Amino acid sequence: MPGAAVAISNCDGLAGLIRTDSNEFFIEPLERGQQDTEEHGRAHVVYRRSAIRQDGAEPPHDLHPEGPGVQVGELPNSLELMAERLGDAERKRRHARKDDYNIEVLLAVDDSVVRFHGKEHVQNYVLTLMNIVDEIYHDESLGVHINIVLVRMIMVGYRQSVSLIERGNPSRSLEQVCRWAHSQQRPDPAHAEHHDHAVFLTRQDFGPAGYAPVTGMCHPLRSCTLNHEDGFSSAFVVAHETGHVLGMEHDGQGNRCADETSMGSIMAPLVQAAFHRYHWSRCSKQELNRYIHSYDCLLDDPFEHQWPTLPELPGINYSMDEQCRFDFGVGYKTCTAFRTFDPCKQLWCSHPDNPYFCKTKKGPPLDGTECSPGKWCFKGHCIWKTSEQPYSQDGSWSSWSKFGSCSRTCGGGVRSRSRSCDNPPPAYGGRPCPGATYEYQVCNAEECPGPFQDFRAQQCSKRNSYYTHQNSKHSWLPYEHHDDAQKCELICQSEGTGDVVFMNQVVHDGTRCSYRDPYSVCVRGECLHVGCDKEVGSLKQDDKCGVCGGDNSHCRTVKGTLAKTPKQPGVLKMFEIPAGARHLQIEEMEPAPHSIAVKNQATGNFILNAKGQEAKSQVFIEMGLEWEYAVEQGKESLKTSGPLHEAISVLVVPQEEEVRSSLMYRYIIHEDLLPMIGNNNVLLEEMDSYEWALKSWSQCSKACGGGIQYTKYGCRRKSDNRMVHRNFCDNSKKPKPIRRRCNLQECSQPMWVAEEWGGCEGQVLVGVMEQKPGMCSVTCGEGVQQRQVVCKGSDSGARCEGDKPEAIQGCHVAVCPGKSRKTNQTPSRGVLSALSLPWLLGIVVLSLQGNSLASPPVPMPVTTARPKGSGCPRREPKTP
């Protein structure tokens, strides 16, 4: 037939594609058992391409959907895949080596992973992660040699990432990820980036640690895995989920390999494998052998890809502190609360905010991690580096470039400068340059002249004339997304319909990240923290009335309540709020058939409930501020954190005449901006302010012969001179201690001085006992008392004469309820109490106080441990 083309395989029946000028046909043999007898030949099925449904892939329904056979809905995809394979005869060929397979992987890294690791470092991180996965599949216990070959890497943008992953819905998330991966497939099987399998990494919480279809390998819509990335141990999750796609089941579930789970088998239901201890169970090996020969897509030789060269040992590029951050989050570092005999046995981590609360995933650091000078970790042991290892070259920064131009001419812009890690670049496993490539400065921070203009609102309103949504133009208002990761996306809201629309671009550099933060700005699509002193990274904050680093001493609170009754139709003006007001609250005192309205005095425009508008609860942005308006049980309220850039008028829109409207308002303002007060309903309150005050002198360093003592300062409230907690005062303003000499008298003959024996009183607080000097160790029955006995006046080194008074004696308080006087009750001292919780992700948590433990305990399922004291409990002061 002229113009016809045929691609047919005669291996195990006829399978392939027949193409004519007018049609395309697929042919495929039926499964054995449905065929005719051998003498009549084997039955086949033939389809026209036009008769095949194109959306037929059946989505997975449970954690690991079953189905190694082709389902009816999946047949079109299988036939198309067959046609692709047959059309790629030059590239698809059987390896000379037996049991050698290549899984060509598309690696998708979503925005949550990119943001956590940083755009500059994420590629090397995920390459290291996939190298570990490759090593896991090279373990001899698998029985076959499988190579994980990365052919393509995609950094998924924020919008795509959040649309693919549904929080708490792993089934739906997996379905969407698999369909997305299919849409990314290179249509030409001969293309160097044509993939067999997709691996999707995310830090979004979709549910379990991983999710995948069983026996989906080589299927266009089922050869994919969804994996939660939380450190290099995630390599075992990727290997586990890919194992499901290859046909492996959980060890101990439907097979007899439960005994191997505790030894670190990869396919354990709860993965306990670690870098120094992992293997494939005998069941995994058998299950893989059952299916591996049917995965024809793994039989081709992959193209060579020029990925960055990584060191042979993955830990060379990552310190223990960095691995702690990957495992547990930002701020985590190596635990220093105790010293371990070998730091490579297990990686223990803690957060600086709670350094004695240590956690581990029960695995060692990566091989190659530096554990001490000249040593590194290898298979859970700290060993000397070998002489064969080439000398590593750490990267070093070039000099900084000059600062570029400012992104804004007024109102607070940003300028930047950069440097390169090429002086020299890291080589031979050397560490990359520490720190950031870019440095930013705030510039042109003075306010723009004229009426206040919201910079983000300007960017939205510019689209009024040309941007169409649903085939029509709109008046666009700024919209702030609740997700911090989207603060620097340009998102606008239609004034007419309320539709929220992503404008598919980031805001202009220098735009404020949030209406609740007047200083932090967006740069290159990411939020840059700025303090009130306009310095990048500064922690300085405004006080309640806008004084940078202030103590509220210049703040005033204005409160008032007004009640008016409308006498005629039209809006009724209630009161005005001046520019500069902060923390503004307006509330209706009692339900009324009226609506609160607010008008900008500078422009005359209504910003809330213009006459005729329906009053409904909403969060809206006006005058460069975020406002919260609520209508609950007939009562209205309005609040904003401020500051007001212009004064506002608060009005009431009457719905009925002769019905009183009563409003309460409250705001904080700097005393220099305070308006004239002429209404008896208004009360001025001073904000509480605090100062450091001399509290006492420290104990003298010597009892006699001249010692030294220092001043102790406490925090005092100025309004009533009462001492309060030191957190109320600014630590940076705390005076330096004053030193003076004390106990100048000459030392007399040394003598023994003993504390008085005391009674026992107090109560147990949160299960912790605290013993005061001289108290009995028990609250009832027989116990012991301890007191301090010291030799006074022995500074010269002389010793006290005579016998030392007793420091310990027996004591009896009262007969214990339900106990006879013969019952002995010995106090328990120095007990370490542990609370065992259900197993969760194989994490062990150790909580310490002081340095009471020298080494971590034997790991238990998610354990917390806190040391206890003993003796009489502490009494808390009673509140009158």
Low-confidence residues of the chain, pLDDT below 70? 1-41, 47-99, 386-393, 427-430, 611-613, 676-688, 749, 758-774, 793-799, 813-815, 817-880
- Distance set, CA 557 to CA 257, 367, 581, 598, 683 (Å): 71, 61, 10, 21, 8
pLDDT at 787: 83
Exposed / middle / buried, residue 861 (Cβ in 10 Å: 0-12, 13-18, 19+): middle
- What string of H, E and C letters represents the secondary structure of 305-362? CCCCCCCCCHHHHCCHHHHHHHHHCCCCEECCCCCCCCCCCCCEEEECCEEEEEEECC
What single-letter DSSP state applies at residue 2?
Answer: T
The pLDDT of residue 821: 39
196 assigned to a ligand binding site: yes
Locate 704 and state its tokens.
């006699």
- In this structure, what are the phi and psi dihedrals at residue 519, rounded to the nearest 5 degrees? -120, -40
User: Look-up: residue for tokens 């008032």?
Assistant: 560
Largest Cα separation within the chain, whole Å, is 125
φ and ψ at residue 240, rounded to 5 degrees: -60, -50
Q: Which two tokens stand for residue 536?
A: 């990048």
- Name all contacts of 475-480 with Cβ < 8 Å and 24+ positions apart: 476/501, 477/620, 477/621, 478/454, 478/621, 479/621, 480/514, 480/515, 480/621, 480/626
| DSSP-assigned letter for residue 426 | P
What is the C-alpha separation between 579 and 647, in angstroms, rounded?
4
Amino acid at 561: T
Dist. CA 594–CA 574, nearest whole Å = 12
Report helix, strand or coil for 163. Answer: helix
Q: Of how many residues is the chain composed? A: 880
pLDDT digits (tens, 9 = 90+) for 833-861: 222 223 333 444 444 443 333 333 333 33
CA nearest to 644, candidates 666, 669, 620: 669
Q: Is 240 annotated as a binding residue?
A: yes
Residue 647 · residue 601 · CB < 8 Å: yes
Does the annotation mark 489 as catalytic? no
Is 249 part of any known ligand binding site?
no
CATH code assigned to 314-384 = 3.40.1620.60
Backbone phi, then psi, for 737, in 5-degree steps? Answer: -60, 145
The closest alpha carbon to 196, from 262, 104, 134, 270, belongs to: 104
Structure tokens that stand for 808 in this block: 């310990």
Contacts 24+ apart (CB under 8 A), 525-534: 525/488, 525/489, 526/488, 527/484, 527/487, 527/488, 528/414, 528/440, 530/442, 534/412, 534/442, 534/445
Taking a C-beta distance cutoff of 8 angstroms, is the pair 415, 444 a contact? no
- Would you state the pLDDT for residue 611? 67
Residue 236: strand, helix, or coil: helix
Among the listed residues 28, 84, 229, 241, the single catalytic one is 241
Alpha-carbon gap, residue 584 to 605, rounded angstroms: 19
Please, are residues 336 and 350 in contact by the beta-carbon 8 Å criterion?
yes
Interatomic CA distance for residues 135 and 156, integer angstroms? 26
CA 749, chain centre distance (Å): 64
Q: In this structure, are residues 509 and 407 in contact, taking their beta carbons and an 8 Å threshold?
A: yes
pLDDT of residue 866: 35
Q: Is 100 annotated as a binding residue?
A: no
Which residue, 126, 127, 92, is CA-closest to 306? 127
Residue at 131: amino acid letter: N
Res 428: pLDDT: 56
Contact call for residues 215 and 247 (beta carbons, < 8 A): yes
Domain definitions of the chain by residue range: 5-84, 97-299, 314-384, 455-528, 555-686, 690-742
Class of domain 97-299: alpha beta
Nearest CA to 870 out of 815, 825, 830 is that of 830
- Per-residue pLDDT tens over the stretch 754-770: 777 764 433 333 333 33
Backbone angles phi, psi at 694, to 5 degrees: -65, 125
Q: How far apart are CA 740 and CA 783, in angstroms?
A: 43
State the DSSP H helix or E strand holding residue 832, giving kind and residue range, or none if neither.
Answer: strand 832-836
DSSP 495-550: TTT--EEEEEEEPPTT-EEETTEEEEEEETTEEE-B-TTS-BT----B-TTS-BT-
- Distance from the first to the final alpha carbon of the chain: 104
Q: Could you please state the CATH topology (level 3) that the domain comprising 555-686 is classified under.
A: Jelly Rolls (2.60.120)
Beta strands in 398-494 (DSSP E): 413-418, 438-443, 468-469, 472-473, 476-478, 489-494
Token digits for 478?
């700024």
Sign for the pseudo-dihedral over CA of 295, 297, 303, 308: negative
Angle, CA 348 vertex, CA 346 and CA 350 arms, to 5° = 175
> What is the structure's pLDDT at 873?
38
Helix (H/G/I), strand (E/B), else coil: 286: helix
- Say how far residue 463 (Cα) sits from the centre of its chain: 34
Any known ligand binding at 104? yes
d(CA 802, CA 41): 116
Q: Are the beta carbons of 286 and 88 closer than 8 angstroms?
A: no
Cis, peptide link before residue 643, omega less than 30° from 0: yes
Residue of 664, 598, 592, 571 lying closest to 635 (CA atoms) = 592
250 carries a ligand binding annotation: yes
Q: What is the CA angle 338-342-348, rounded to 5?
A: 50
737 vs 726: CA distance, rounded Å: 15
Is 676 exposed, middle or buried (CB count within 10 Å of its CB: 0-12, 13-18, 19+)? Answer: exposed
Three-class DSSP category at 85: helix
SS3 category, 560: strand
pTM for the predicted model, two decimal places: 0.41
Cα 686 off chain centre by: 40
Q: Which H or E run includes 706?
A: none
> What angle (nearest 5°) sits at the alpha carbon of residue 543, between those of residues 542 and 544?
120
Say what angle helices 234-245 and 122-137 make with each other, to 10 degrees: 50
Q: CA–CA separation, 677 vs 578, rounded Å?
A: 12
297 assigned to a ligand binding site = yes
Smallest CA-to-CA distance from 421 within 391, 389, 393 is with 393
- Contact of 219 with 78, CB cutoff 8 Å: yes
